[in-house]
Amino acid sequence: MSELVTGEAVALELRPAKLPSRAMALLLDLAAAVTAYLIVTIALVAATSSLDDAAQTALSITSFVLVLVGGPIAVETLTHGRSLGKLACGLRVVRDDGGPIRFRHALVRGLIGVIEILLTFGAGACIASLVSARGRRIGDVFAGTLVVRERVPVTPAAYVPPPPPWLAGRFAELDLSAVPDGLWLAVRQYLTRMGQLDGQVRHSMAERLASDVAARTGTPPPYGVPAPAYLSAVLHERQAREARRAFGNGAPAGATAAGAPGPWAAGPSLVTPMTPVTTPPTLLPSTAPVPPSSLTAPASPPTAPAVAPPAPAPASSPAPPPAGGSPGEGQEASSGGGAGTGFAPPA
């Protein structure tokens, strides 16, 4: 992989094409050009059969230059470096700074290609590609171009390595509000690609990023903690805070706002603790089971058997006092007669 730095200080990662893929693309381009040249030659011979030999020779040279030299130049200019063979092999011609080529680049490549490809049957181009560090032939060197690969294998997304276990939660009180997003992005890119860097470059970048983060937070890194481990722990602390802010104080996505366990909870976490009863239970008069109806409606008193009221006694008139009797006797008789009715005459 070749890393190029543009005028805007942007690093471009370009994959130079290898010699086998470039040779295959060149063969496809030559096959297409030779086929087109044969078709044009046959058509010209049929059309100019009545001309003299000098005119036929001039037309043959013109067709050779236009088809085998002008054709590839026109195709690369119009397609911005993607000829038929390069398109089939996933290659493309670009400038040294990674931009698309123009007519002057394609013209220089095409004119020098006549010498190093057509006249030497590709031997000059192969030797120059093997000698060059980026696989460039002589035409690429003079034109300032490079053949790169457009179709690259998809690599898995890089992940941020976790911090050491002994640093977990150590920066929970660190103020990270003053750290800009650009610095966080630089820290993340460094952690995901530090395995691809040279040892000295990796160490210097880690020290510089750690000093920048410490200057923004106002707290120097702990003594004895390596710079990459410090950066990883601080970045994970920021991610943890963002997750708590997004999911509500650290509650998982499946939990409710009241703190109820999510749907994945199982076992004792689903059991709600019972509140102790402070009111003493009501004692029942007996140990017999109480029907449910007795808990909602008061029990009715037992109904006494119906008793017929006593028949009233017939009213009796006071007996006349016997003749010759004394008034006391008559009163006693009257009281005796009223005893049956329960009526007592006035005294």
Helix 53-64 vs helix 19-47: angle between axes, to the nearest 10 degrees?
150
| Phi, psi dihedral angles at 70 (to 5 degrees) | -70, -30
pLDDT at 283: 47
C-alpha closest to that of 113 among 124, 103, 102, 104? 124
**106 pLDDT higher than 90:** yes
C-alpha closest to that of 227 among 211, 213, 208, 207? 207
**Could you give the 3-state DSSP secondary structure of residue 331?**
helix
Cα gap 211→220, rounded to integer Å: 8
Percentage, residues of the chain above pLDDT 90 = 19
Residue the block writes with tokens 């976790």: 162
**178 pLDDT higher than 50:** yes
Reported as a pLDDT band with limits 50, 70 and 90, residue 151 is confident
Helix 199-217 vs helix 227-247: angle between axes, to the nearest 10 degrees?
50
Bridging pattern class, strands 145-149 and 91-95: antiparallel
pLDDT at 112: 93
pLDDT at 312: 53
What's the angle, vertex CA 99, arms to CA 96 and CA 102, rounded to 5? 95
Strand segments (E) across the chain = 2-5, 11-14, 91-95, 145-149
Integer CA distances (angstroms), 298 to 294, 295, 313, in order? 6, 8, 42
Amino acid at site 55: A
Give the Cβ contact number of residue 45 at 10 Å. 12
Residues in the chain: 347
Cα gap 78→170, rounded to integer Å: 59
C-alpha closest to that of 91 among 170, 136, 40, 147? 147
**240 pLDDT higher than 90:** no
256-300 pLDDT, tens per residue? 333 333 332 333 333 334 444 444 444 444 444 445 444 444 445
Average pLDDT for 233-248: 83
**pTM for this entry:** 0.46
Give the Cβ contact number of residue 135 at 10 Å. 20
Cβ contact 214:174 at 8 Å = no
**109 pLDDT higher than 90:** yes
pLDDT at 155: 56
C-alpha closest to that of 147 among 108, 102, 90? 90
Cα gap 1→17, rounded to integer Å: 10
| Phi, psi dihedral angles at 5 (to 5 degrees) | -110, 120
